[in-house]
Structure formats: C-alpha cells, structure tokens
Structure 1
Amino acid sequence: MSDIGTLANTAVAVVGIVVLIVRFRVNPVVALVIGAGYLGLAAGIGVARTAETITAGFGEIMAGIGLLVAFGVLMGAILRELGAIERLVRGLLRVFGPRRVPYAMSLTIATLLQSIFLDVMLVISAPLARGLARKLDRYGTARMATALAIGLESGIIFTVPGVGALALAALLHVPLGTYLLFGLIVVIPTVLVATAISTFILVHGWWKPEADEEPFVDEPREAGPVADGVAVQVRDEPRLVVLFGPMLVALALVATGALAKAAKLSDPALAFVSTPVIALLIGMVGTFYVGRRALGQDRVEQAMARGLKESGPILLLNGVGGSLAAMIKAAGLGAILGKYLSAGSVAPLIVVWVIAAVLHVAVGSVTISAITSAGLLAPLAPALGIDPVLVALAAGAGSLFMVHLTSNTFWLLQSLLGQSTRGTLKTCTVGVSVASVVAMGPILALSLVL
C-alpha cells in the first residue's frame, strides 16, 4: 500500500476510535480493538495476521505491565484501608503550614501515591483538601482544587507505578527504572511551577468565589479508614514511614537498578531484586504484612479483593492499547513518518506533544489518549533518532492538555471540591493544561543531553 494510503487508513482508524468513544459511548476497550482490526484489514495485512497481531500486541503489553499494575493497585488498596492518605495530608499540614500545603499535597500525590487508583485517591483526598481550603484565605478552594488536579493527572503520567507511566514505558519499550528516574526529573518541577503559575492567575482577579464556588448541602466529615462505607478501627496504628516504607523501598530498588545499569555495574543479586516485578512484589508483600498487623488478616484480604476488581479495567485498557500499537507498527507507519520528521532537533518532540494533545481534546481521557498516542508513536521513535523515554514523556505531557467536560476526573473535582462548572474549568482544565505545557520545558532540556 502507498504511504498516503497507510496514513489515511491510520487516520480513519484513530478518528473512528474517537467517534465510537465520544459519540456512540462505546467502551474504550471495544473501540480500540475495532480500530486496530480496521487498520489491519485496510492496510492489507490480512485476516489471519490481523487477528494474530491484535492478540500478540495484547499479550506483549500484559507481559510488560500486567503484574506491575496488579501489585501497585494492591498496595494502594491496603494503604487506603489503613487511612494512610488522610494521615499523610494531616502531617503535611503540620509540617508545611496552610500557605505551602497546596504545593506539598500536589507534589506528594504526584510522586508518592501513584499506586492508588486515581478516582479512589480523589474521593479520599478531596474532603481533606476541602478541610484545608477553609484554613486558607478566600481563594482556598481555588488553591486546593488546582493543586489536587495537577498532582493527580501529572502523577499518573510521569510517575511509576502510575497507570499512564506504565503504559507509556511498555509501549515505547523504555526500561521502567529509566522512566522512573526521568519521570521524577520532569514531574517535580512541573507540579511546582504549574501550581505556582495557576495559583497566581487565580488569586489575581480570575477566581470569583461567588460564581466559581457552590455551597455544600451536607458537609461530609473527614473519613478515617473505611471498608464498604463502614468505618474500620485500626488495631495498631503504624507510623507513616512504616505504612509507606515498603512502597518506597520498591521504587528505590527499581531506581537503583537503573543507576547500576547506567554505571555498568554487574551484581546478580541487585539485578534480581531491582527487576520491577520483583521490586514491586517486595513492596506489596511488605505492605500486606503492615496491613495485617494493623487491621487483621480478614480486613486486608477484603481490601486486596477490591484492589483486584479495580485493576481489571486498567489491565484490559492497557492491553488493547498494546494491540493498536502492534497494528500500527505492522502497517509500517513509523517508517513513513520518519521520512517527514528530521532527527537531531527538538521539533519532533513538539509534534509528539501536539499529536497527544489533539487526541486528548478529542477523547477526553488522559490515560486513553496517552495509550493511543504512544501506540501511534512507538514505531516512529527509532526513525527519529530520539531516546524513546523522551518520546514517552512528551506523549504523556501532551495527553494532559485540556482535561475537560468528558473527563470523569473533571466532574469529581467539581462535585467534591464545591466548584461550579465554570470554576472547575479554571482550576482543572486550565491548571492541568498549564502543567502540560510546563512539562515540555524539562523534557526539551533533557533532549539536549540525551
């Protein structure tokens, strides 16, 4: 097939996926498989090879991230049962004080709490953010809502084991330790700078409390550890360092493995424990042990059962994203686009950002747009001569642009933080879009040295 034909069919497949999701409310998993199937048949790959490619792509991505997602979600489920987030936020308030707590909370969510499913983390942390907002000035809601939105969305894209980060690393074949290190280099300044810029704009005349906030009919009390809506009594409340220690050890092992590899150090024992799957298994087992000591065996097992239920949709979505990526690669899109984008410059990374941003505006889901854009760009990375980690990070940054009315996170932030739709557009849509643009600063800087 001609280059134009391949490009046209790829465009039809992507637009078709968007239309199915947005217009006809087709489940994203089904839409992505349909799009991959269409591309395979239209590109002349053939019926048998199309089916094989869809299956192989799904299997490849599952082999790369399946256990990682499961272990991360299980750790998050146990930490949620222990009330770790509530205790952490209260600790941040004591240490940093009301003025600096939005930055501390946003950065903590973006870096430390990425093992917890986004919507669950938002539901737990929102009442705490509202309580903190009352301790600030008249712009407290704007400050906390912006910080929460930026921290949540940036974290799932840039921080391992965030769902978006795992998918981007797997689809672009970036070692997880490498993505962890460079993701932290990007996410820390991004969160701090984007929160500062957005807050400055909001408190200097743009935020109107009378129009941008809505009163609550019933003010919910701050939650302790809960299970199925029932408060849970923690038998032996461990220190925060004990609660989060296993997760931090796991991430430290992954990072150490990446540094050892870069330094060309060879140690079989270190290589084994720093393998991402083994490191997160160690973290999960440690978290399980802490949870069992504090809550008892039955309660921890119930938490893990809920975590496994939550991980199912995540795994399916990432798996079919792998199917689409494999089909795009089989269609030869990477070689075609490589002819039109020059290597050795920052321009290709801008193109990557734009592709991901356009997909996100159309689809409205950060994770889906990140997965789809990564699938499009995976075969292109070698042709560009750019380190794949930069392509992955740029795709992630673009997928943050314009979180809007089709996003579940948008509506949760509106209802849980007491904002009007207009106010949520200012804090969530604009705030996360600022983070999307700011993130390209450290990514482009990294491109000059990698």
Structure 2
Amino acid sequence: MTRLSVEMLAADAPEPITSAGHAQLGIAVLAGIAVIVLLITKSKLHAFLALTIGSLALGAIAGAPLDKVLTSFSTGLGTTVAGVGVLIALGAMLGKMLADSGGADQIVDTILAKAGGRSMPWAMVLIASVIGLPLFFEVGIVLLIPVVLMVAKRGNYSLMRIGIPALAGLSVMHGLVPPHPGPLVAIDAVKADLGVTLALGVLVAIPTVIIAGPLFSRYAARWVDVPAPDRMIPQRASEDLEKRPGFGATLFTVLLPVILMLAKALVDIVVDDPEHPVQRVFDVIGAPMIALLASVLVGIFTLLRPAGFSKERISPLVEKSLAPIAGILLIVGAGGGFKQTLIDTGVGQMVLDISEDWSIPALLLAWLIAVAIRLATGSATVATVSAAGLVAPLAADMSTTHAALLVLAIGAGSLFFSHVNDAGFWMVKEYFGLSVGQNIKTWSVMETIISVVAGGIVLLLSLVI
C-alpha cells in the first residue's frame, strides 16, 4: 500500500530539474543550507542575498542547469510574495492604523489591566489560539505582532516571554486544527471524519500549546533576553489619548478578518457545494486578502476617524507603514524561492522514496515522513500533503478515531524544527529583530517542542482509544 501511494505521488509530481541520485541531492541540500547559515552568521551578509546564493549553490551541486534553478527560485519567490506579501502589506497598514490611532494602546491597556504579571503569557496564548483558529499562520502573525510588541514594550516584559506563547498558539492551530488548509487536505486524503478530527485536534492542542507556549517561554526568555524592537513599533502620531478609538471598535476591527474567514469555513462545511451562490460569495469575502483588505478599509472609519485623522493624513500614514516591511518581503520571498528550488530538484520525492520500505507503525511513519519533508522543504503544507498521500492507504482499515489521529500525526510532524528554508522562520526573525542563532534557540526549538509533544500525545491516545 505504501509503494502504491509513492507511485501515485510520483505520477502526479512535476519532473525534477535534475537527474541526481539520492546521495547527491542529500549533499546538495546540506551544502545549500550550510552556505546560507555561514553567509548570514559569519559573513554578515543580508539574508536575501544569502538565500539567493544558497539556492544557486543547491542547484549547482545537485547538477541542475542554472537557468532552470533561476526559474525555480524566481517562481518560488514570486509565488510567496504574491501569496504572503500582500497579506504582510495589508497587515502592516492595519498595524500602523492601530498604533497611530491609539487603538493598539487601547488593547494593550485593557490587557494589562485585566492580566498582569505571571498571567500575561497565558492571556497571550489564549488570544493567539482563539484568533489563530480560522487564520492562516501568516495572517495571524501580522495581526498579532503589533499587540505582542506593544504589550512587551508597555509592560516591560521580555519579548520572548510574550511572543513565544502567541506564536505557539498560532502554530498549533495551523498544524493541528481544521479549518486550516493542512489538516483539511490530510482529512480528505485519509478520508477521516472532520468533526472527530476537530475534537481530537483541540484535545491534543491544549496541552501542546501550554507546554510550548507559557512554560517554554520561561526558558526562551532566559536564553534570548531581548526587548521589543523599536523599529517594528510604529509610534503614535498624536499623544492626545482622549481621541483614541474605543476598545470595542478596535477589537471589532482586528477580529473582522477572523469573523469573515471563520464564516467562510462554516459555510464550506454546511453548504459543501463549490457552485452554490452562497458558498461562492463567502469564498470571496472570506479569502485572507479580502478579509484583511476589509479590515483596513473599516479601520479608516473605526480607528482613524475617531482619532481625529483627516483625509489628507490617511495616505501618508499608509505609505509610511510600507517602508519597514520592504526587507521582510524580500527575505520571505527569497525563502520561498529556496523552498521551490528544493522541491523542483526532487528533494521531497527523494524523502518519500527513502522512507518507502520503513516497517514501523502507521502513526509514527506518518510523523517521521512529515518531519523529513518539513526539514527538506521548509513547508508545513508540502509536508502535510506529501505525507498524507503516502500513508493514506494505511487508513483504509483504521477506525474513525485512529484515522483522525493519523491526520494529527501528520500535522504534528509538519511543524518540526522550522529553519532557514521556511518563510515563517524569516518572518519571526525580522519582526522580532532576532539573529539567526537567537531565532533557532527560540522559534525553531518551540516548533520542535510542538511537533514532539503533539506527536507523543497522538501516539498515547492511539493506545487508549
């Protein structure tokens, strides 16, 4: 059954741009990653340039024609910027509106008043988990970053003590809980029950996010004790706090994308007909770009106007919001280019081929395959889709609960050790102003904890249910 799955994936996969064997591809992957790390850490080269050079080195060592390597890198860069870049830009606009209008101050003041001291990391993980339930990871980051940074700054907290719980909440929801695209793809591939998977996903997510979030953040804050970077905290244009928008209006503006995307997910489940007019409407208004765009437009009336902003001040505000993210866009895009180069050289298929004859339990096999593809490609979604396709035939004789646990094992493995080939790695690094080493000791370790803890809980549940 496993061999059949591999053959099906191979038939659907695009032709690799190189005919290199597994050994050569493995060496190429290690060399490409080593080039990136050394250029950034030793030569202090900008991450965009390092990722570009590393992609070329990977392709050259793998024996791929350089013109095809350039095409792969450019395609990956363009696709990533097209998908994530617009979200980052809209999120930056919304973040600038929140900061300059005083709306972010209002949220921060309310959170600080309700939860202080030791309870703050728990409050952050709760907020991130709720907001992250229907959101893509990137959307959740751009929505929460202004709040995370301002809570850390205003409350004089270590950035890691506040940031890690928020990131853990977002990441756990992204990997384990539908309606995120990864879990939904895996559910469809193994023919698991959506409701059972959702219930078990939440059951696995709760202890996982507690361990990887508030508990791990204590150690992360000791290892990397950094303040919130001033360059990523837009300063309020006016100190007249009497004019800042109310908490309700601000919260509504921030949650509007969540509401729209959650509504889309619910309609998709209830209607379940892509051609139905209602579902087609919600597919549009619930798309991440439209949902964030709506929030930005609404923010003009709920945030800027109550704060006394005239029409003439709105355009310069939006323009200023884009300057700080130029470097982030290039770095995230280059990370996508490196990932596409890995995929096009056949690294993902190499991992599937090597793991074809592994004789281990299905849940552990699913987790290990997802881990391997995640490490090689940097993409949790690619890891989920590939691993789900590989182990799907194994679910044929499984019970409903074990099929759901198979989905969760795949999702857990897809989050393992985010590093330099993951666009999310660079987003977190740049937003939080960390070095590569600091980001590995915090973000990458947190992702690994999520993967291992969730995978362990899934295996334990498989023994008792």
Q: Distance in 2 between matches of 1:388 and 1:58?
A: 29
| Structure-to-structure mapping, 1:18-417, within 5 angstroms | 18-96=37-115, 100-108=119-127, 112=131, 114-116=141-143, 118=145, 123-130=149-156, 147-154=161-168, 157=171, 185=202, 190-194=208-212, 197-198=215-216, 231-234=238-241, 236-263=243-270, 264-265=272-273, 266=276, 267=278, 268-295=280-307, 296-297=309-310, 298-341=312-355, 344-350=362-368, 352=370, 372=378, 377=383, 380-381=386-387, 384-385=390-391, 394-396=413-415, 398-399=417-418
Q: Distance in 1 between matches of 2:372 and 2:448?
A: 11
Partner amino acid, structure 2, of 1:276: P
Q: 1:253 to 1:73 in 2, by over 3 A?
A: same
Q: 1:91 to 1:444 in 2, by over 3 A?
A: same
Structure 2: state its 5+ residue gaps: 1-19, 132-139, 175-179, 188-193, 393-405, 420-424
CA contact 1:57–1:324 (8 Å) conserved in 2? yes
Q: 1:302 to 1:410 in 2, by over 3 A?
A: closer
Q: Kindly state the Cα deviation for residue 242 of structure 1 after the two structures are TM-superposed.
A: 0.7
Report the aligned-residue RMSD.
Answer: 4.8
Partner amino acid, structure 2, of 1:258: A
CA contact 1:21–1:31 (8 Å) conserved in 2? yes
- Percent sequence identity is 19
CA contact 2:101–2:304 (8 Å) conserved in 1? no
What are the superposed Cα offsets for residues 149-170 of structure 1, whole Å, 9 maximum, x if unpaired? Answer: 423443664578xxxxxxx979
Partner amino acid, structure 1, of 2:23: I
Q: Distance in 2 between matches of 1:250 and 1:94?
A: 26
Q: Distance in 2 between matches of 1:72 and 1:213?
A: 26
Q: Distance in 1 between matches of 2:338 and 2:130?
A: 29
CA contact 1:394–1:443 (8 Å) conserved in 2? yes
Q: Kindly state the Cα deviation for residue 191 of structure 1 after the two structures are TM-superposed.
A: 4.2
Q: Distance in 2 between matches of 1:18 and 1:156?
A: 26
**Number of positions where the alignment pairs a residue of Structure 1 with one of Structure 2:** 379
Q: Kindly state the Cα deviation for residue 372 of structure 1 after the two structures are TM-superposed.
A: 4.2
Residue 362 of structure 1 corresponds to none
Q: Distance in 1 between matches of 2:330 and 2:214?
A: 36
Q: Distance in 1 between matches of 2:258 and 2:334?
A: 27
Q: Distance in 2 between matches of 1:310 and 1:64?
A: 19
CA contact 2:261–2:291 (8 Å) conserved in 1? yes
The two structures have a TM-score, normalised by structure 2, of: 0.64
Worse-superposed segment, 379-388 or 92-101: 379-388
Q: Kindly state the Cα deviation for residue 283 of structure 1 after the two structures are TM-superposed.
A: 1.3
Q: Distance in 2 between matches of 1:195 and 1:329?
A: 31
Structure 1: state its 5+ residue gaps: 131-140, 161-167, 217-222, 360-370, 414-423
Residue 191 of structure 2 corresponds to none
Partner amino acid, structure 1, of 2:86: L
Q: Kindly state the Cα deviation for residue 347 of structure 1 after the two structures are TM-superposed.
A: 4.2
Q: Distance in 1 between matches of 2:443 and 2:74?
A: 38
CA contact 1:337–1:380 (8 Å) conserved in 2? no
SS in 2 for 1:307: helix
Worse-superposed segment, 13-22 or 253-262: 253-262
Q: 1:51 to 1:433 in 2, by over 3 A?
A: closer
Residue 367 of structure 1 corresponds to none
Q: Distance in 1 between matches of 2:93 and 2:432?
A: 25
Q: Distance in 2 between matches of 1:62 and 1:388?
A: 29
Q: Kindly state the Cα deviation for residue 395 of structure 1 after the two structures are TM-superposed.
A: 4.6
Q: 1:51 to 1:82 in 2, by over 3 A?
A: same
Q: 1:64 to 1:53 in 2, by over 3 A?
A: same
CA contact 1:29–1:316 (8 Å) conserved in 2? yes
Q: 1:398 to 1:381 in 2, by over 3 A?
A: same
Partner amino acid, structure 1, of 2:290: I
Q: Distance in 2 between matches of 1:80 and 1:228?
A: 6
* Structure 1 position 13 matched with structure 2 position 32: yes
The two structures have a TM-score, normalised by structure 1, of: 0.66
Partner amino acid, structure 1, of 2:305: R
Q: 1:397 to 1:255 in 2, by over 3 A?
A: farther
CA contact 1:321–1:375 (8 Å) conserved in 2? no
Worse-superposed segment, 78-87 or 7-16: 78-87
Q: Distance in 1 between matches of 2:305 and 2:154?
A: 26
Q: Distance in 2 between matches of 1:106 and 1:10?
A: 35
Partner amino acid, structure 2, of 1:309: A
Q: Kindly state the Cα deviation for residue 47 of structure 1 after the two structures are TM-superposed.
A: 2.7
Q: Kindly state the Cα deviation for residue 97 of structure 1 after the two structures are TM-superposed.
A: 6.3
